[in-house]
């Protein structure tokens, strides 16, 4: 990983996004604006991805100068069926991003043309195995919205600017970038519109560096994994780190996830395509993971990563059937209705393979709260499922200034101990961020490496890490707060008492002398008045 290269790529990306924002200033609401940027970026990507694929296939057969984009639509129809079977969708040459962009400024009905193209892309998958993966991908890119302008002419003017700005973005091959272009675009858009981000973005977006740490934890010592899974998939950033770290072909049986938010569900699927992960290699489902999980036939999973929503409501014991659910029943108690955190953790544990590893971002409160949450912690500890608990610095997440924990879950451990790690000092200040996003810190490559080394070594480090025996945790009433086992370093200034006493004595002496002088002056003034 090259931090300098990352920052250079991000700088170019952010500059382009700022240009687009300025072009559309005052016309599109901030958080709605993100849909247009991400949607057009996706349209460009799948156009280039399809063209490159077809060009490579034709040139392999000897047609060295073949260029799909220059074909007529009629000539291109011959390859539709085979291409849909392989790629999952089809785009006619005239409807490719680059060709539409060239004509855009001369089209009086550009909005209708784009709307028709998006329908055609989705319809190209009808009846194919990819239909469910393609359906609805452009639903949030509504090009006839008054948000783009009150008149067709205004809407088209802004669409032309969008196409030109996205088209001018130098991204090279998406898969070759050190940053996640789509994810970083999403992240930067949240910082631009931070007031909305906390409500509409931070809750389903995990910063890329945190995603990378989780993926590294679950793949330590492995070159391949069978299946990876995220029960609260969000934009898919966590799953995609496996493709970056291991290579997408080394995730042998694919990427699985579920997301309850429809818009975010679409983002996750788009993100898969943006990373050239074919529809046959991923299965992102829409729905409530806790009440209606969609991957019973694929579990268990070898690697699970997740950042579930913190302390949300769920049915809990209001639904008497849930205690019989094989995911929740082993603990003998359900997570409270007001805090579903441990329901997600029980689900993750249930679907984790015997040899697998899960890394879950958690709200710190779940590790010390009483009642049913304590009983579920007891179940995890008594059965030796928790490998490590890592506290991360506050300020890593959008819209949230609190610190967060990572819980590492394993079913096959070599000891009956839990490693507690205080990584609060592992961070670098954010650069080029807007101050109102509440995100003030990042994890550098060095920070990630340090945390991984501490986790792997599994040894006590003063003020940083402690390997705690089962009996000590029981004696502490199953409290799993990192601060309860790793004593924070005292960074307050050491005071020399002797020196302090001397200084105090000097100050007192000066006060007495000053008071004497003041009394003398006052006496002289009063004496002169009497005369």
The per-residue pLDDT for range 438-465, each reduced to its tens digit, is 677 889 999 999 999 999 999 999 999 9
pLDDT at 181: 62
Predicted local distance difference test score (pLDDT) of residue 526: 67
Q: Lowest-confidence range among 75-89, 201-215, 372-386?
A: 201-215
Helices (H), 139-226: 152-168, 181-192, 194-200, 208-219
Provide the pLDDT for residue 115.
Answer: 94
**What average pLDDT does this structure show over 358-369?**
95
Is residue 392 pLDDT above 60, yes or no?
yes
Q: How confident is the model at residue 201 (pLDDT cuts 50, 70, 90)?
A: very low
Q: What is the pLDDT of residue 148?
A: 78
Give the pLDDT confidence score for residue 528 in this predicted structure: 66
The encoded tokens of residue 492 equal 């307050």
**Structure confidence at residue 409 (pLDDT):** 98
Q: What is the pLDDT of residue 337?
A: 94
CA 241 from centre of chain: 10
- pLDDT tens, position by position, 222-242: 999 999 999 999 888 899 899
Q: What is the mean pLDDT of residues 320-328?
A: 94
pLDDT at 180 over 70: no
Q: Please give the Cα distance from 156 to 149 (Å, whole number).
A: 8
Q: What is the mean pLDDT of residues 274-283?
A: 86
Q: Long-range contact list for 81-86, CB < 8 A, 24+ apart?
A: 83/50, 83/53, 83/54, 84/124, 84/125, 84/128, 84/130, 85/128, 85/129, 86/53, 86/278
pTM of the complete model:
0.81
Q: What is the pLDDT of residue 364?
A: 93
Extract the tokens encoding 31: 């958080």
Q: Is residue 26 over pLDDT 60?
A: no
The pLDDT value recorded for residue 200 is 44
pLDDT for 197 beyond 50? no
397-414 exposure pattern, b = at least 16 Cβ within 10 A, e = fewer:
bbbbeebbbbbbbbbeee
| Furthest-apart CA atoms within the chain: distance in Å | 121
Q: Which residues pair with 362 in a beta bridge?
A: 405
Taking residues 336-356, what's their average pLDDT?
96
202-484 domain in CATH 3.40.50.150?
yes
Strands (E), 175-329: 228-230, 255-259, 282-286, 301-306
Query: Burial, 519: exposed, middle or buried (Cβ in 10 Å; 0-12, 13-18, 19+)?
Result: exposed
Q: What angle is formed at CA 112 by the lines to CA 111 and CA 115, rounded to 5 degrees?
A: 90
Helix, strand, or coil (residue 388): strand
d(CA 427, CA 392): 9
In this structure, of 115-129, 319-333, 356-370, 400-414, the range with the lowest mean pLDDT score is: 400-414
What is the pLDDT confidence band of residue 24, given thresholds at 50, 70 and 90?
low
Using CA atoms, how far residue 223 sits from 242, 246, 256, 373, in Å, is: 11, 6, 19, 36
Q: Give the tokens for residue 312.
A: 């949300």
CATH of span 3-179: 1.20.1260.30
Give residue 500's pLDDT. Answer: 76
Q: Say what the pLDDT of residue 198 is.
A: 41
What is the distance, to the nearest Å, from the Cα of residue 218 to the centroid of all Cα atoms in its chain? 16
Share of the chain above pLDDT 70, in %: 84
Share of the chain above pLDDT 90, in %: 53
Q: What is the pLDDT of residue 166?
A: 85
Q: Is pLDDT above 90 for 29?
A: no
* Residue of 271 and 431 predicted with greater confidence: 271
First CA to last CA distance, the chain: 88
């Amino acid at each position: 990983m090259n931090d300098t290269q990352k920052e250079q790529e991000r700088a170019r990306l952010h500059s382009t996004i700022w240009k687009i924002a300025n072009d559309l200033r005052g016309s599109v609401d901030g958080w709605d604006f993100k849909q247009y940027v991400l949607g057009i970026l996706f349209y460009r990507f799948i156009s280039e991805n399809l063209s490159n694929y077809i060009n490579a296939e034709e040139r392999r057969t000897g047609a060295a100068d073949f260029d799909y984009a220059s074909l007529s639509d009629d000539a291109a129809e011959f390859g539709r069926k085979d291409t849909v079977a392989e790629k999952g969708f089809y785009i006619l040459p005239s409807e490719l991003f680059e060709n539409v962009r060239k004509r855009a400024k001369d089209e009086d009905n550009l909005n209708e043309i784009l709307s028709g193209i998006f329908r055609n892309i989705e319809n190209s998958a009808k009846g194919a195995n990819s239909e469910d993966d393609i359906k609805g991908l452009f639903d949030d890119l509504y090009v006839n919205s008054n948000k783009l302008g009150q008149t067709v002419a205004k809407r088209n003017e802004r669409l032309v600017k969008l196409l030109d700005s996205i088209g001018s973005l130098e991204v090279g091959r998406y898969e070759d970038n050190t940053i996640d272009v789509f994810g970083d675009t999403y992240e930067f858009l949240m910082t631009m519109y931070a007031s909305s981000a906390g409500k509409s973005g931070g809750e389903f977006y995990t910063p890329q560096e945190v995603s990378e740490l989780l993926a590294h934890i679950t793949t330590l010592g492995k070159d391949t994994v069978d299946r990876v899974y995220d029960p609260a998939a969000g934009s898919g950033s966590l799953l995609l780190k496996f493709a970056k770290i291991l290579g997408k072909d080394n995730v042998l049986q694919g990427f699985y996830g579920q997301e309850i938010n429809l818009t975010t569900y679409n983002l996750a699927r788009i993100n898969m395509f943006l990373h050239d992960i074919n529809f046959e290699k991923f299965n992102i489902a829409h729905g409530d993971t806790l009440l209606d999980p969609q991957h019973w036939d694929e579990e268990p999973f070898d690697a699970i990563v997740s950042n579930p929503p913190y302390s949300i409501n769920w049915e809990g014991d209001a639904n008497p059937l849930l205690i019989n659910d094989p995911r929740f029943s082993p603990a003998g108690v359900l997570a409270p209705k007001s805090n579903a955190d441990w329901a997600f953790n029980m689900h993750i544990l249930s679907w984790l393979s015997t040899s697998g590893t899960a890394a879950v971002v958690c709200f710190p409160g779940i590790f010390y709260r009483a009642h049913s949450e304590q009983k579920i912690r007891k179940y995890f500890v008594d059965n030796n499922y928790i490998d490590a608990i890592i506290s991360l610095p506050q300020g890593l997440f959008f819209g949230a200034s609190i610190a967060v924990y990572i819980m590492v879950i394993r079913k096959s451990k070599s000891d009956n101990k839990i490693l507690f790690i205080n990584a609060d000092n592992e961070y670098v200040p954010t650069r080029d961020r807007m101050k109102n996003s509440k995100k003030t810190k990042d994890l550098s490559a060095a920070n990630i490496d340090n945390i991984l080394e501490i986790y792997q070594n599994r040894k006590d480090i003063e003020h940083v890490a402690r390997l705690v025996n089962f009996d000590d945790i029981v004696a502490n009433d199953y409290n799993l707060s990192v601060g309860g086992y790793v004593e924070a370093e005292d960074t307050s200034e050491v005071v020399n008492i002797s020196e302090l006493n001397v200084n105090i004595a000097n100050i007192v002496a000066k006060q007495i002398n000053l008071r004497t002088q003041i009394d003398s002056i006052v006496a002289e003034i009063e004496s002169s008045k009497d005369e």
